[in-house]
A = this chain, B = another copy of it.
């Protein structure tokens, strides 16, 4: 800052901007060499910050210095090539640069009229993705009764469809307290949370089969019991790729049950939806074309930095009905013409930034063929790792290799499995998530970080072998 009160000038922005670009580029170069997991103790970071905000401006150098000295020690490096934990949260270079442009433009897309490019590029790119994922044309805004919208997270989308399904049931005469939401016991926590936040008092997480997919018989039984008890089944969520093991629910059968009983059918493909760019994966979600809503996260496995969740609905009318408001200060000719989309009516927030830009830039920078090549490479690496696990006398898979997720355990049981996870994570350049299902401990290996290559999976395999021997 040139004076106490002046804003940073464009020239100062230019200079500091170049410094920040260099910092981020250097971070990309060294992220593979940093210990992935932060080892600070609770309170360590706060203890290094002053008790009060500074009264006087600080120079930009101080911010950059603290990025290295205070921030970096407290970062767990999700962008490291040895990241096999949770699911990936990819931030590819083109998406990072698009985020910079979007922040620089600082435009709001709450209405079409407040920056038409934000709305039209979003609507258009999400229509592209309908085709790329092999979803039905009625999910498109162009021509279809449905449409896509970018939300912050799959949790937001899943919450929102519970609200829409709830309002539909209430309009049909049901009391909120009688509504029931369904998913499997392996559904993401956002299903139960979204239902509870939407006011559902009854959430049924029904039984799964041997590969952790929803048992349709259990769903039918639950619905029939609830109907017999005078309750009102309202919505069921199917998973394409559960978080624990990547299981895929029997979508077509669930779709039929939903249709029979008048339930809203939501498909949660938060992570695995990206795999549907590859035509050979699509049979796994047959039936999704009959769903009422479908969500997936380009910010997980499609190289687009957080936040970028996509929600498609087969019919946008009930969504907009649940959310529409039109105070006088938002009235404008374009909205009144009915010719435009006003995305403020498609989610809880009113304001919205230009998140479509990064998705557009990712699709164009990689091209659909480039994205498919990366996805197929991750899936092939997972298949190969699965084969090695199967061939190893002391290791077992706990579930089929799903997309790019391998779930394995030590044959000696839970303690040996936890020891295996600990041994792998003792390597500072590797990180996996230990988990548990029905009392069985296991290690999740999610392959899909932007910079992960076959060599990184080899390093992981060496660590697994070392851990398997050590734990025996």
Contacts and interface: CB of A to CB of B under 8 A. Distances in A.
Contacts of A433: 329
Task: Across the A-B interface, give the 3 residue pairs with the lowest CB-CB distance, nearest first.
Answer: A74-B117, A91-B106, A24-B104
Contact of A49 (B4, B93, B114, B121): B121
Given A159-B348, A373-B5, A79 B106 contact: yes
A98 B457 CA distance: 33
A462 interface: no
Contacts of A361: 63
A10 B38 contact: no
A173 interface: no
A399 interface: no
Given A323-B193, A365-B57, A435-B329, A78 B107 contact: yes
A28 interface: yes
A93 B13 contact: yes
Interface string A11-44: 1111011101111111111000000001010111
29 contacts: A7-B450, A8-B93, A13-B25, A16-B97, A17-B100, A18-B18, A20-B101, A21-B21, A40-B116, A44-B116, A45-B116, A45-B121, A46-B123, A56-B367, A57-B366, A58-B364, A74-B118, A75-B105, A76-B107, A77-B107, A78-B106, A108-B306, A156-B348, A177-B177, A189-B325, A190-B350, A194-B348, A306-B351, A328-B437
A335 B16 CA distance: 37
A149 to B, nearest CB: 14
A260 interface: no
Contact of A25 (B11, B26, B44, B45): B11
Contacts of A96: 13, 100, 103-104, 106
A60 B365 contact: yes
A348 B374 CA distance: 31
A53 interface: yes
A1 B366 contact: yes
B63 A364 contact: yes
A209 interface: no
A145 to B, nearest CB: 18
Tell me what chain A mostly uses at the interface: helix, strand, loop, or mixed: helix
Interface in A302-333: 303, 305-307, 322-323, 325-330
Nearest to A88: B106
Contacts of A176: 176-177, 199
B74 A350 contact: no
Query: How often does this chain occur in the complex, in copies?
Result: 2
B71 A357 contact: yes
A163 B197 contact: yes
Contacts of A274: none
A334 to B, nearest CB: 6
B92 A348 contact: no
A57 B25 contact: no
Contacts of A8: 92-94, 365
A12 B94 CA distance: 10
A288 interface: no
A348 B193 contact: yes
A245 B106 CA distance: 24
A115 interface: yes
Contacts of A325: 189, 192-193
Given A1-B365, A4-B369, A5-B373, A104 B189 contact: no
B7 A116 contact: no
Interface in A166-182: 166, 175-177
Contact of A104 (B40, B91, B117, B370): B91
A90 interface: yes
Contacts of A142: 46
